[in-house]
Chains A and B, each alone.
Chain A
Amino acid sequence: MTALAALIRRDIRIALRVGGGALIGVLFFLTVVVLMPFAIGPDLALLTRLGPAILWLGALLASLLTLDRMFAADHEDGSLDLIVMSRTPLEFTCAAKALAHWLAAGVPLIIATPVLGLLLNLDVAATLTVALTLLVGTPALTFTGMIGAALAVTLHRGGLLLAVLVLPLSIPILIFGVAASEAAISGPLAFGTPFSILCALTLVSFVIGPFAAAASLRQGLD
């Protein structure tokens, strides 16, 4: 446990330092959402209707932006060799790295959501609902994205490949995240159904993500 705690502490510390990924994700999220009302125009009803989808899309792209450094940075400086060699099972290590990535890059997105909801003409309840779905859904984005990050680790400039690999896996999360938000705001559907499926997707990703990532890291070492 000390090993995993040390790893999480280190990754968060690096993310928060200059050049780390934590701020880049939030700034990107901010940019996408702030520009959206200018592109769509001053139709308040339309903004409200699109709001949850825009916030979810922004969060998805922002988390993709920082995912490719998750293992690539460790691979470049040789840390990954030592991590693979260590006594800690690689599956746990992968889960710890994903958790650290989510804490450093995912949580700031959720914190920024209430502020950005204002720009999209969402009321307080709607904004909090979107923030709740993001709180449940963004871990799934990180844990499935980790699989792509592990597959692309040995490729230089693997960022584009990562996006191609990860986006299909993220689509169900996006669908049910937005569906749950819209159900709570306007829709005739019950909030519980899509939200439960979103929770289930997150739990599945917790199980599959670390194992798949660990397997591809073991294969990919050169």
Chain B
Amino acid sequence: MRLLGRAVRCVRGGREVFSGLDFEVFSGGTLAVTGPNGSGKTTLLRIIAGLLAPAAGSIGLEGGGDELTLPDQAHYLGHRDAMKPALTVLENLSFWRDFLGGGAYDARECLAAVELDHAIHLPAAYLSAGQRRRLSIARLLVTRRPIWLLDEPTSALDTAGQALSMRLMSEHLARGGLIIAATHAPLGVPAQELRIGGAS
């Protein structure tokens, strides 16, 4: 599987954010998108996720599922955690498993994998920022998809949480997945770097 971006250009609100971005990621590879605040890291991830259209250029996927588009095969982990405060941790995760079409994986086991099993019946409103991040990461595990688009995956995580996310990313890469992550901190897995903006 190969994810390919050619001459991607993005314009937001009449202002050019970036242009001429080329990148290429293979199965088992990681692309770390770096750059100063406001350089368009999140925007690039959202373009890859199909949530925004690029102003020019193209993004393609080769060797994926036959009938599935790129967004169908990608997990997007954004700044916002997509968890409902009124629902419990388990209800939130079970919903995303059913909605994203996983089914095969047990929500409780995935919560145990991110060390949230003690808080299963707690409403998500009571979770700390780091715990919410762990819950979002559990969403990546409860349905398997080959492409992970991660926006600041380690933000708000403690050192144990960062080690955990590093381990989960390595396992994902070993399964043949690919990761594109916007990050300021080192990811902890071997990665090629794509630097946006900030040249001056």
Determine whether the beta carbon of B82 is less than 8 Å from that of A82.
yes
Bound: A10/B100 CA distance, A: 14
Measured between beta carbons, the chain B residues less than 8 angstroms from A9 are 95
User: What's the least CB distance linking B97 to chain A, in Å?
Assistant: 8
| Secondary structure call for the A interface | helix
Give residues of chain B (72-104) contacting chain A, Cβ–Cβ below 8 Å: 72, 74, 76, 78-84, 86-87, 91, 94-96, 98-101, 103
Determine whether the beta carbon of A78 is less than 8 Å from that of B79.
yes
Interface size of B in residues (CB-CB distance below 8 Å) = 28
User: What's the least CB distance linking A95 to chain B, in Å?
Assistant: 15
Determine whether the beta carbon of A7 is less than 8 Å from that of B51.
no
- Indicate whether A14 sits within 8 Å of B87 (C-beta atoms), given known contacts A85-B51, A87-B101: yes
Give residues of chain A (86-121) contacting chain B, Cβ–Cβ below 8 Å: 86-88
Max chain B C-beta neighbours (<10 A), residue from A19, A86, A88: A86
User: What's the least CB distance linking A87 to chain B, in Å?
Assistant: 5
Measured between beta carbons, the chain A residues less than 8 angstroms from B79 are 78
Interface size of A in residues (CB-CB distance below 8 Å) = 27
- A39 touches B (CB below 8 Å): no
Determine whether the beta carbon of A18 is less than 8 Å from that of B101.
no
Determine whether the beta carbon of A2 is less than 8 Å from that of B101.
yes
Measured between beta carbons, the chain B residues less than 8 angstroms from A18 are 86
Bound: A221/B99 CA distance, A: 20
- A157 touches B (CB below 8 Å): no
- Indicate whether A2 sits within 8 Å of B100 (C-beta atoms), given known contacts A13-B87, A78-B80: no
State the A residues within 8 Å of B (CB).
Answer: 2-3, 5-7, 9-10, 13-14, 17-20, 76-79, 81-88, 221-222
Determine whether the beta carbon of B51 is less than 8 Å from that of A6.
no
Determine whether the beta carbon of B86 is less than 8 Å from that of A85.
no
Query: Among the listed B72, B80, B91, which residue makes an inter-chain contact with A76, where contact means beta carbons less than 8 Å apart?
Result: B80
Bound: A16/B46 CA distance, A: 33
Measured between beta carbons, the chain A residues less than 8 angstroms from B86 are 13-14, 17-20
User: What's the least CB distance linking A192 to chain B, in Å?
Assistant: 42
Determine whether the beta carbon of B99 is less than 8 Å from that of A13.
no
Determine whether the beta carbon of B98 is less than 8 Å from that of A6.
yes
Bound: A7/B94 CA distance, A: 11
